[in-house]
């Protein structure tokens, strides 16, 4: 059996936003991941595989827990991971506005 490799890194965005990546792979295939959009040490939005499938947790400022999930059943974990990076990198300000409203 292969060794699970774990990697964590940060991508800095404008206006104090960061994306925190955590990735686990086995024999080059993604086993699990989380991609978290952070502003002022707060989780604004998150993509992960915590429930056994790739999804985005919809977060709200007034809620202590996610207020919804957007599933990506038609994509592979690799595709969801790549989409998460692109989505947060391009739409971080919109996610922050949504977070502030809820």
Render pLDDT for 54-102 as a digit per residue (tens, 0 to 9).
999 988 888 767 888 899 999 999 999 999 999 999 999 999 999 998 8
Say what the pLDDT of residue 64 is. 66
Q: 0.75 cut: is pTM over it?
A: yes
Strand-pair category, 42-48 with 4-12:
unpaired
Q: Are 69 and 56 spatial neighbours (Cβ–Cβ below 8 Å)?
A: yes
Calculate what percentage of the chain has a pLDDT beyond 70. 98
Q: How far apart are CA 41 and CA 88, in angstroms?
A: 16
**% the chain with pLDDT above 90:** 80
For residue 92, what is the enclosing H or E element? helix 77-101
Mean pLDDT of 41-50: 94
- The residues spanned by each domain of the chain are 4-101
């Amino acid at each position: 059996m292969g060794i699970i490799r774990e990697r964590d890194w940060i991508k800095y965005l404008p206006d104090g936003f960061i994306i925190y990546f955590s990735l686990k792979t086995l024999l080059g295939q993604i086993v699990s991941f989380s991609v978290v959009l952070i502003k002022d040490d707060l989780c604004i939005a998150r993509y992960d595989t915590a429930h056994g499938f790739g999804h985005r947790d919809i977060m709200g400022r007034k809620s202590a827990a996610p207020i919804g999930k957007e599933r990506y059943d038609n994509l592979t974990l690799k595709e969801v991971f790549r989409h998460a990076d692109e989505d947060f990198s391009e739409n971080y300000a919109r996610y922050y506005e949504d977070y502030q409203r809820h």
